Amino acid sequence: MFLIASGNGDVGMDAAWEVLERGGTALDAVEAGTRLVEDNPADHTVGYGGFPNLLGEVELDASIMDGSTLRAGAVGALRGYRAAISVARRVMEELPHVLLVGEGAARFAAELGLPREDLLTPEAAAVYREGVAGKLPARFRNAEGSIMSDVLRRAAGIAADPERAAGTVNFIARDAAGAIASAVSTSGWAWKYPGRIGDSPIIGAGNYADSRYGAAACTGWGELAMRASTARTVVLYLRTGMGLEAACRAAFADLAELDRDPARIIMSMVAVDAAGGMLAVSTAPERDYVYRTPGMAAYARAHRLHLPVR
């Protein structure tokens, strides 16, 4: 039994561990932990209070995966509902689909009876006005002061870096029965072009779990994780017999093959193997994560292994 999460998952660690301790499933644990991060208005990378897109609208992405059955559910560009991870799980359990996006995801959330709300908090709105809207010349605005649709593509050029102004929460758990599950939730790249979906809801890119071998979940430059299928790649390397650290190193080395300056590639990941090994890595130094195993009185925080892409 174990639990690992990105550093911002700390607010959900106790709830997730309580699920595992009372004999609950890994799926229940990762959902419970993620929900508390989505509820945290102080976290501008996930759920309620997340930084918005270029139009000032909060759009959420999330996915969850059951490593024992390889079932998965995901939502993308979900507006008006903070519990993106729970909607993703219900997609997995109630629909013959894996991914719902935009209006379809919101419709499904409403059918589930979830409360609709404005996810843009005053604090996040103020940062948006000062950080994006405030940088646009007057000619890029209409009478109401919003960004004109015909200049959105140019405005997207001032979007913030994906991990300097936004991020993701990752949870991976293994329960007492040996089942592994993973969950990812995010408000995405701050000031993104409306409708942009990153790696978080893409199974195989930002999230993948297989109880036979292990699991991985990513945060960072999602477009690169999608192109390299980073999370699935780690699990495939584990399947070939690689150790956990070697598998993570190999997956990060794959990122160097993409047409980007390696020094500018931002990627972080938490990963586990079926034997109980846990590892967190990042291309940036001194990024942290949290974890807990049986015998620990509380979760612990540690620095990730620094793996710059070369």
The secondary structure of the chain in percent helix, strand, coil, rounded to multiples of 5, reads: 35, 25, 40
Among 168, 219, 233, 283, the active-site one is 168
121 is catalytic: no
179-208: b or e for each residue (b if 16 or more CB lie within 10 Å)?
A: bbbbbbbbbbbbbbebebbbbbbbbbbbbb
Separation of alpha carbons 215 and 233, rounded Å? 10
| Residue that is written with structure tokens 């996915």 in the block | 63
Q: Is there a contact between 185 and 47 (Cβ–Cβ < 8 Å)?
A: yes
* Cα(277)–Cα(258) distance, integer angstroms: 29
* Cα-Cα-Cα-Cα dihedral sign, residues 234, 78, 116, 146: positive
DSSP three-state, residue 239: helix
Biggest CA pair distance of the chain: 61
For 227, phi then psi, to 5°, come to: -70, -30
Rounded to whole angstroms, the Cα distance separating 223 from 87 reads 23
DSSP H or E stretch at residue 6: strand 2-6
With CA atoms as reference, report the closest residue to 84 among 112, 126, 42. Answer: 112
Q: Which residues participate in catalysis according to the annotation?
A: 168
